[in-house]
């Protein structure tokens, strides 16, 4: 799904990540459970974004993310106080990002699941994939 988001976004940054993904140099983590809950009307997006000069500051915790392998790119949704739903991408090594320990759940050990915490993480404007996540998601998730 991350590859679809990169291609649909079409920014230079996203297309560079698409090339890395297609060459199997980096894995992608979506961490979209809370975004999908919000779209379904049974939850809210877990990450809060605040506009700052040059981009965003993001804080919050993804309680569940899969594919937490070595050197992943994280592609989560965040929401501003004004209700704008954004999609962005960043490396897990970004300052302020903490990856949790793998959840030892029988049957899920191979999925590399854990939580991801964001503490005042700066996201440069170039790393924002969409300022309208729902529209981008609809372009990527249409049934075939």
pLDDT at 118 exceeding the cut of 90: yes
Position 115 confidence tier, pLDDT thresholds 50, 70, 90 = confident
Rounded to whole angstroms, the Cα distance separating 6 from 25 reads 15
Containing domain of residue 19, as a range?
Answer: 2-140
Q: What's the pLDDT score for residue 137?
A: 81
Three-class secondary structure of residue 46 per DSSP = coil
Q: What would the mean pLDDT of 77-104 be, rounded to a whole number?
A: 92
- Whole-number CA gyration radius for the chain: 14
* Count of domains for the chain: 1
Q: Hey, CA dihedral for 86, 87, 88, 94, is it positive or negative?
A: positive
Strand partners, 51: 56
What is the pLDDT at residue 60? 98
Task: Indicate which CATH number applies to the domain containing 51.
Answer: 2.40.110.10
pTM of the model: 0.90
């Amino acid at each position: 799904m991350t590859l679809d988001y990169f291609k649909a976004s079409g920014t230079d940054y996203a297309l560079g990540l698409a090339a890395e993904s297609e060459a199997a140099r980096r894995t992608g983590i979506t961490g979209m459970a809370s975004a999908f809950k919000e779209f379904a009307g049974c939850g809210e997006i877990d990450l809060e974004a605040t506009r700052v000069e040059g981009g965003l500051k993001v804080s919050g915790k993804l309680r569940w993310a899969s594919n937490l392998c070595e050197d992943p790119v994280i592609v989560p949704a965040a929401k501003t106080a004004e209700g704008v739903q954004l999609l962005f991408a960043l490396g897990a090594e970004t300052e302020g990002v903490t990856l949790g320990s793998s959840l030892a759940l029988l049957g899920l050990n191979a999925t590399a699941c854990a939580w991801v915490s964001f503490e005042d993480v700066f996201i440069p404007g170039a790393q924002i994939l969409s300022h309208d996540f729902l529209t981008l998601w609809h372009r990527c998730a249409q049934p075939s």
